[in-house]
Amino acid sequence: MNRIIIFLFSSTIFAQYQITIDAYVLDYQTNEPIPYSEISFKNKNIATLTNENGKFKLVYQEDLINDQDLFIIKSNGYKSLEITLEQLYNFLRNTNKFYLKQADSNHTWNSEFYTDDDTEIIYGKVFSVSGPIQGATIRIKKTLIESKSDFEGYFNIKANLNDILIVNYLGMDEKQIIVENLDDTYVLLKTSAEILDEVVLNSSKTTDKDVDTGYGKKNKDAMGFSASTITAKDISPAAISIVDAIKGKFAGVQVGSNQDMSPTGNKARIYIRGGSLSINNSASAIFDVDGMIYTETPDFLDPQQIESITLLRSIGATNKYGSEGRGGAFIIKMSVLARGSAEIINSALVKGNDYTEELLGIAKDSIDSYYIKELKSAKTFIDAKRIFKDQKKYVNTLSIPYYFECYEYFSKWDNNFSYSILTSLAALA
């Protein structure tokens, strides 16, 4: 059973964002996980350890770390890794695996060790014109062997002479290299670019002479019949009905109940000059509202939600609507926002919980546990080990934080002894 162990630190500072880092720490040469590696920010009370699978989870508030702080990974027997916050974020965009090199190696990256069998270790670097490439994939053709470049672009992979290395990265052209010798391999990747033979751009041009005829937008001069359009900006804010929106906006348009404009108490009708078949047989205009045909005036429409009104006189209206359009037609296009949007009511908010008092800050060193205070009273490393041995007699009453705090305390005396405390904790778990 694997247990993920996390350091917990109390803080009185509230931040807007919480950062969580889930990643692994692996051996640079063998790709094996490195357990119990110490993960921390330099001079900050933010730290954790990797578990037996080399995995760790580090959580911190964004405002506690600035760009000058160093992210540090340390492990017994390995070289420490120190990178800036900007390098850390750039690294995590491509991979969540950190690689540590063994501390006993006195060679450079390109000659750290050699294998005893026929397979050799090929070292190299992947870069572009703008700098090293992190997270590039390097694999042996026709095999399952592959590797990744680190945040400085360096990589190593097991290969034989005459093997073919395939190097690729998102947005870059793939490159294949034959392993002719054991010299360091430098791989320059070029940005992928596609040259198009032809590019077609579709666009429409709106002018004052374009009107919506119901058959699409057409130019007034090319239609062959009379049409005119008004838009939402032409409609008065004081208009409360469709009749108010139309009055005075179109030439030859009159509002009444009969052709002679005599009031009869009936619903208002709109007549267009030239829209009657004869003096004795007049026809009022019809209304096309987003495809719905109305033979009577649609008084239910809200003028403030109208996008445009187009007037087709008798010839144009008859062509589209038949005999019903002999008196002309108004084509009305409603705004897409006519349905409105739901109002957000914050009725569930808790009220009256506004506090202006300052919180009391507590220094971490002032709340040390009794057993840590007892250890700090030791004058020598031998005395500290004796106190620790006596405290372990009460192991049944001690908790996991006890071992962590002891590990942190003894790391100032002896790294190997502090590391053995974590090992004993793993055995108990």
* Whole-number pLDDT of residue 163: 92
Q: What is the pLDDT of residues 46-71, one digit of tens each?
A: 888 899 889 999 988 888 888 888 99
Q: Average pLDDT of 154-176?
A: 91
Worst-scoring range by mean pLDDT, 302-311, 346-355, 407-416?
Answer: 346-355
Which parts of 191-272 are beta strand (E)? 210-212, 217-219, 227-231, 253-256, 269-272
> What whole-number distance in Å separates Cα of residue 381 and Cα of residue 412?
10
Q: What percent of the chain has pLDDT over 90?
A: 13
> What whole-number distance in Å separates Cα of residue 241 and Cα of residue 20?
58
For the chain, the average pLDDT equals 76
pLDDT band, very low/low/confident/very high, at 127 (cuts 50, 70, 90): very high
Residue 7 has pLDDT above 50, yes or no: no
Q: What is the pLDDT of residues 193-251, one digit of tens each?
A: 766 667 777 766 555 556 665 566 666 555 556 678 888 888 888 888 888 888 888 88
Residue 128 has pLDDT above 70, yes or no: yes
Of 113 and 73, more confident:
73
User: How far is residue 217 from each of residues 205, 209, 227, 360, 426, measured CA to CA in Å?
Assistant: 10, 10, 11, 70, 77
Q: Residues with Cβ < 8 Å from 124, sequence gap 6 or more?
A: 138, 154, 155, 156, 184, 185, 186, 187
* Whole-number pLDDT of residue 39: 92
* Whole-number pLDDT of residue 71: 92
The domains located in the chain, with CATH, are 18-100 (2.60.40.1120), 120-188 (2.60.40.4130), 210-334 (2.170.130.10), 364-428 (no CATH)
Of 321 and 209, more confident:
321
